[in-house]
Structure 1
Amino acid sequence: MTNVAPTATPILEGRGLSRSFGNVRALDGADFEIYSGEVVALIGDNGAGKSTLVKALSGNLSLDSGQILFSGMPVDLNSPSVASEMGIETVYQDLALAPHLNAAQNMFLGRELPAEGLLGRLGFLDTKTMREQSRKALDDLGATVRTLTDPVGAMSGGQQQAIAIARAVAWAKGVVFLDEPTAALGVVQTKNVLETIQRISSTGVAVVFISHSMPHVIEVADRVQVLRLGRRVATYEAKNTSMEELVGAMTGAITGAA
């Protein structure tokens, strides 16, 4: 677990974020913050606003109002590419993989390595290096992706999820969002992902962990932020809370904690 200095500046912060879809208020003045090297679990019932908040903080959704700050400075996260340039990476539940491409091509999608010399100037890629780096990233995750040359669309859900997580982890330098990263995984792969979350945070990268699994939340998080009806209603130190307390905050049976 990470000890955050009380005077530290959050690496990523959202203040009073609001977003409506027609008559539905998905975010209603939501606040959020995370510090470098910290694991924050973001929890809430279905419809609480978790996915909308993640999309807003990762450049995938515009806001009606509110302010986003990166390292204490206001930023305009108007696209995923802007977020990526800041070192913010996201793994969504739909994984956002290109099914016709193989694992290495997906790992380096939009970041392809050109071959050296004339071949690179002619548009050829350094396929060997991309495969080697992809294999290392997957091995570091403990993923069982046996081939890097088959289209990912032909792979199991667990293998696809492992590729998406490995890609985000490999490129994240500031913050990585993991939206239900263990949902399609078995016991061993889930253990590997939870260990990877702790390993990422130990390098100074902040991890936002969205999950419905309260045991996993308590196991890996430093803090837990609870959303309900589009607002943050409670924040807990993971080591000082319980599954019952978290569920109570999610359902409204328990009201806020700082």
Structure 2
Amino acid sequence: MAATDFAVDAYRHEALDTVGSTNSEAMDRARAGDPGLLWLTAERQETGRGRRGRNWVSERGNLYASLLVVDPAPQAMTASLPLVAALGVHGAISRVMADHDNEIAIKWPNDILIDRRKVCGILLEAERLADGRLAVVIGMGVNVTTGPDDAPYPIARVSDYVAGADPATLFAHLFETMAQELQIWDRGRGLAETVARWRSAACGINERITVNLAHEQVPGIFVGIDDAGMLKLETKDGLRSFAAGDVFFDNGIG
């Protein structure tokens, strides 16, 4: 699969009404032999989920989408796909809000914020299939017209800023911007450019944050990401790097 294989006209899209989870449905398609570059969108999810199995509220009015890619890169390079995914969604939301001055930024590794309020979560899942192929599903939920009432952090809806915002219009942009970012990434060969683009869209560099791990909370200064996309944190004990974790800013944004 070369960069040209990620050209926008190579993708297929299937719009569904109600599913358990677009991610689960996409992985089922992969197990059944789908070649990938398949977008699935749904009006509503009954069992949507976020990172670490958290429930994702999935009522009508928002964008629920998953992209299936198969053998997208050598396995060592797939760890950088969250950066690509974040840039794709960031680009789509930026297009919809092109006439507005609000800050649209990425919180490591791939949450999208509008004015420091979370508008999108992204979940990537991978599975080695029986035939040896590596299936990767890039799932995203964007608050377009609704949002959770009980989130432990400030949330945003695109419609808070853009009158008449709708999931279909946002997805039309996402269909293009994700293809563009995957072409730039080029199976990992363009990782340096992807990292540079991610840094330019990042939120909170040089600010105090806490990285929450399964059994540890690590405070420090977020100094950016390294050339592989790992978070760099200046702690009281020196510089540490993280491949995964939940980031919370000192002002409570998580």
Q: Which fold has the larger relative contact order, with Cα–Cα distance below 8 Å and residues 6 or more apart in sequence?
A: 1
Bin of the TM-score, shorter chain as denominator length: under 0.3
Indicate the structure with greater helix content. Answer: 1
Indicate the structure with greater strand content. Answer: 2
**Bigger radius of gyration:** 1
TM-score, reference length from structure 2: 0.27
